[in-house]
Amino acid sequence: MSKKNFENYDELPGGSIGKLVRADYLSLGRYLNPDQIARRVYEILSQLLGSDTAFVLVRWDGKRITPLVIKAHPLTDSVSLLDIVKTLQNQKTPLLLTDSHEVAEFSSLPLGYHLAYYPLTDAIDLRSALCIVSPHTIFSPALLEDLEALVVALKNALENAAEHGKVLREYSLLQMAKKTWEQVWGEIEEQQKAIERLLARNQALLDIGLAINSSLDLKDVLTTIVTEAVKLLQVSRGAIALWDEGRHDIKVMAEYLHDGISMNTPSFLEFNLNQAETMALPAENRLVELNFPNSLTEQDTEKLRRFLAESWDLRTGKVGSILISPLRWQSQTIGVIILNDQTSGRDFNKEDQDVLALIANQAAVAIENARLFDTIRDERNRTQLILNSIADAVFTTDLKQRIVTLNPGAEQISGLTTEDLIERYYWEALGMQDSKGHTLPLEASPCLQAIQNATSTEPRIFSINHPDGKRRMISLVAAPLIESGRVTGVVGVFRDVTREQEVSRLKDEFVSLVSHELRTPMASVLGFSELMLTRQVSQEKSRLYVETIHKEAQRLSNLISDFLDIQRMEAGRQVYNFSEVSLSFLVRPVLDLFNNERERIKVEFPDDLTMIRADPDRIVQTLTNLIGNAIKYSPNGGDIILRAHLNENQMVEASVQDNGLGIPKEAQSQLFNKFFRVDNSDRREIGGTGLGLAISREIIEAHGGKIWVDSALGKGSIFHFTLPAVLVNPPEPNQTITTSYSVEAIENTILIVEDNNSLAQLISTYLEEDGYSCRIVNSAEQALRLVDLLIPVAMVLDITLAGRMDGWDLLIKLKENPHLTDVPVIICTVLDTKFMGAHIGAAEFLPKPVELRRLEELINRLTALAPQRNILVIDDDASLRRMLKESLSELDFVVATAASGDQGLKLATQNPPDLIVLDLMMPKMDGFQVLSRLRADHITINIPVIVVSAKELSNDEHVFIHKGLARFLTKGEQTPQRIREAVRESLEAKKLTTTR
């Protein structure tokens, strides 16, 4: 056959030639490089086949065929060994062709060509083959045996080389993997160390954050910030400086020195920051250039340089490393953190800067939180102080209407403690009932209505329980607490209106009573007069009718007189005509008035009863009221006994005793209030207006005495009153004095008119240390009654007083009395006032022509506290009025003008200005008269006045203009010590004036 397949040729025995060359074949196994094997195969084949045979040793990886060695020159150009190999690449067994034309694929080979093909290795990823083509040589059996032996050796050598290459590649990969792993492991270790450092710093930053935010006290926060920053970055020292809004300056607030660091120079905190504005460091002491944050001004950085140089002694050569980070909040720099490390070779790196920046960010938030907390705390304290100072009760509830907070006013009005009220339903805790005494239903709760309607309720009247067993009337209003558009609770405000409700009730009863008391006599007057007009009556009946009309008219007149008397007395307009008189003498007309009951009335006065100083008519009125009541309220009869004696206080004490109904103990404290009547059916049948005892009290107290009652229900009553006795130096008879009478000054006695008893006692203590004797009263009415008995050397006066009259009213009344004109008065009040002068009622004087600059200075000083600065110009000169109005208007004053004194007074009382510019020389009413009228009016007494005139003033006129009614102490001066000094100064000034 011309085509021969060889299988298992690696086991065939070799021929004689093969035996000779087989050692060379086996030497192929020594080579592990395919290229070396290929070169050796070339030598062997060239020797074995001769020069006229072509061969090629190839390998391919499944994609591309690569010749390891090739000898092709015996072949023509039309024959390609590589194409032949490509054709046979899928041949799995050796192939021998002696006639190429037998196979269609090789028909392109010239006739006579012989071909031997040996597949060598058949790995998936690497194949190899040997192809021999000879145009002339015929493959002999011996040659084929040698080729077969060579192929076996070559196959083994190539497989070994491939395995060796594979091992080398794997080893290379392992080496590369080892190198890569070592590199990765090194990087992992570095990253691990970096992570550990980062975790440590993050933990430290977290600890710093927790420490910073553990307190809202600004000082503690700042100290923690700088301390933790120094410890975390392990530096020598640190400080924190903040921008001071109040001083518009940067101020060091805290610093910290690491353990072991000593500092001989003064502390950072001891420096005055403002010194750095004008003082510069000498050149040799200047700090090396530092990179301060750009957000700081040049002035601020210069100050910080100075501090670093002088406080930390960081001059040239001693600086070490310095790290500065700004504290920023909402794009604003609020301060800086400064760190300094004296360790040799220490340089702050980017990580240090980043860490300090993180600390600075946390610090800025903590600082602003602390500042916000301070602001909120101050606002809360201010709000709490306001709530605590409010007399009304204020409380808040949750949506279930349980009390959450309350102010002291709520405790005071309810009589309950916070523990009694907190977390309880407010209506239940207070025991609320409506005005009719019914228990408050839930749907009627004002707080519930405020929650449901999200609006404030109208004030409503309720009654509440009180620990004293009496119910109180309150007026309550509720308003919703709204946050983010929803109701979160309720605030309730109530005040005690028990007295107002009682007054309202008494007024209603009084209106009803007066209506009844007026209509009853009026009905009799109208009825009997109509009978006389419309009918013919006998003379006897006519007289009876007229007597009835007269009696009822007299009754009507008395009722009206009582009402007018009480109003006049309370307004301080009652005129008293004092004289020395015997009480026995005054009883006589009263007994005549009650002639029908004369047998019941017993008078038990001693024969030597001391004379009294009194207004006879008013004492008769008092006796009439008391005896009339004794008769009315003793329906079962019994004696009415009048007694009198001189008591231990050298006052004549009189009493009226009856055996009538008596007065309940709970009603006795209100018995002398106007309109008050004991709520009892027996007494309602008796009738009366409830004014008699109130009038009697006003009369007795106006005389400097007092009135009181001792009574037991069902056993009768004894009404006592005292009147001043005449002991020595009796005055001329029938002397008439309005509101006061002649008395003599009592040396070293100071009258304190103050409704705050604690403050009055404190002032008294200070004044008594100077040897003065102090008398204390809490109302203007009491003061007026007391100055009728004694003239003090000085007075300390509050404006807000108990009673109807205030301090201004009293001041005007005092200065109407010639005996009191020179008594120094020191006004001490917390009442807001526009007054800026040292003395109330005093005036400043400017000569004409007016110097506008001086006028402006005076106006600005005297109206500094006035919000609008309204000026009233009173002058009869039209051109001067126009000039002053235009000039002052340009200075932003609101100017009104008046052409006469009358017109000016009218404008001043209708719309009080903040200051008056007054001319002296005016027709009809001159400036002196206007000034007197201003000083005598409650509305205008404290209006500052600037007098302008071309008149040459006399000494007396100067004194009149500059003399004030009282010394005024501003709010900042109202201490007991300052009041004592003012009393001393006023008395010294009075002595100097008297000497001159």
Per DSSP, the residues of 370-439 read HHHHHHHHHHHHHHHHHHHH-SSEEEEE-TT-BEEEE-HHHHHHH---HHHHTTSBHHHHHT-EETTSPB
Question: Above 60 in pLDDT, residue 63?
Answer: yes
Q: Which of 22-26, 453-457, 592-596 has the highest mean pLDDT?
A: 453-457
- What was the pLDDT predicted at 787? 81
- What was the pLDDT predicted at 240? 86
Q: 764 to each of 318, 759, 774, 777, how far by Cα in Å?
A: 66, 8, 6, 12
Decide if 831 contacts 799 (C-beta within 8 A). Answer: yes
- What was the pLDDT predicted at 233? 83
Decide if 627 contacts 640 (C-beta within 8 A). Answer: yes
Is the pTM for the entire model greater than 0.75? no
- What was the pLDDT predicted at 644? 93
- What was the pLDDT predicted at 744? 46
Q: How confident is the model at residue 742 (pLDDT cuts 50, 70, 90)?
A: very low
Q: Which residue has the higher pLDDT, 502 or 858?
A: 502
Lowest mean pLDDT among 110-119, 313-322, 638-647, 771-780: 313-322
Q: Which of 190-199, 204-213, 471-480, 527-536 has the highest mean pLDDT?
A: 471-480
SS3 819: helix
Average pLDDT value for residue range 581-585? 88
Q: Which run of H or of E encompasses 961?
A: helix 955-962
Question: Above 80 in pLDDT, residue 350?
Answer: yes
Please count the residues of the chain: 996
- What was the pLDDT predicted at 854? 67
Question: Above 80 in pLDDT, residue 431?
Answer: yes
Could you identify the residue written with the tokens 């000169």? 877
Average pLDDT value for residue range 946-974? 61
Strand locations in 189-285 (E): 237-244, 249-257
Task: Give the integer Cα–Cα distance in Å for 916 and 906.
Answer: 13
Q: 826 to each of 250, 751, 769, 811, how far by Cα in Å?
A: 46, 11, 18, 10
Q: State the Cα angle at 857 between 851 and 859, rounded to 5°.
A: 100
- Kindly state the tokens that stand for 617: 């008519």
Lowest mean pLDDT among 7-11, 168-172, 980-984: 7-11
pLDDT-above-70 percentage for the chain: 75
pLDDT-above-90 percentage for the chain: 6
How far is CA 644 from its chain centroid? 64
Quick: pLDDT tens for 648-704. Answer: 988 999 999 998 888 888 787 778 877 676 755 454 455 566 678 888 888 998 888
Average pLDDT value for residue range 493-517? 77
- What was the pLDDT predicted at 298? 73
Q: Which of 108-122, 606-620, 829-843 has the highest mean pLDDT?
A: 606-620
Lowest mean pLDDT among 108-112, 589-593, 985-989: 985-989
748: left (phi over 0), alpha (psi -120 to 50) or beta: left
- Residues whose CB falls within 8 Å of the CB of residue 939, separated by 6 or more in sequence, listed in order: 908, 909, 912
Q: Which residue has the higher pLDDT, 76 or 745?
A: 76
- What was the pLDDT predicted at 842? 54
Q: Which of 127-141, 466-480, 936-950 has the highest mean pLDDT?
A: 466-480
Strand locations in 99-231 (E): 114-122, 127-134
Residue 704: CB atoms within 10 A of its CB come to 19
Q: Which residue has the higher pLDDT, 33 or 515?
A: 33
Average pLDDT value for residue range 108-119? 77
Quick: pLDDT tens for 509-545. Answer: 667 766 766 777 787 788 888 888 888 888 888 888 8
Question: Above 70 in pLDDT, residue 3?
Answer: no
Decide if 583 contacts 654 (C-beta within 8 A). Answer: yes
Quick: pLDDT tens for 896-911. Answer: 898 888 888 888 888 8
- Kindly state the tokens that stand for 922: 């005016």
Average pLDDT, rounded, for the chain:
76
From the number of C-beta atoms within 10 Å of its C-beta (0-12, 13-18, 19+), residue 585 rates as exposed
Q: How confident is the model at residue 732 (pLDDT cuts 50, 70, 90)?
A: very low
- What was the pLDDT predicted at 19? 44
Average pLDDT value for residue range 75-86? 76
HSE of 525 in the Cβ direction (CA atoms, 13 Å)? 14
> End-to-end CA distance of the chain, in Å?
173
Quick: pLDDT tens for 783-819. Answer: 888 887 788 888 888 877 777 777 777 877 776 777 7
- What was the pLDDT predicted at 249? 67
Q: How confident is the model at residue 988 (pLDDT cuts 50, 70, 90)?
A: low
- Residues whose CB falls within 8 Å of the CB of residue 401, separated by 6 or more in sequence, listed in order: 425, 426, 427, 445, 447, 448, 451, 490
Task: Give the integer Cα–Cα distance in Å for 563 and 781.
Answer: 19
- DSSP secondary structure, 29-50, as one string: GG--SHHHHHHHHHHHHHHHH-
- DSSP secondary structure, 642-679, as one string: EEEEE-TTSEEEEEEE--SS---HHHHTTTTSTT----
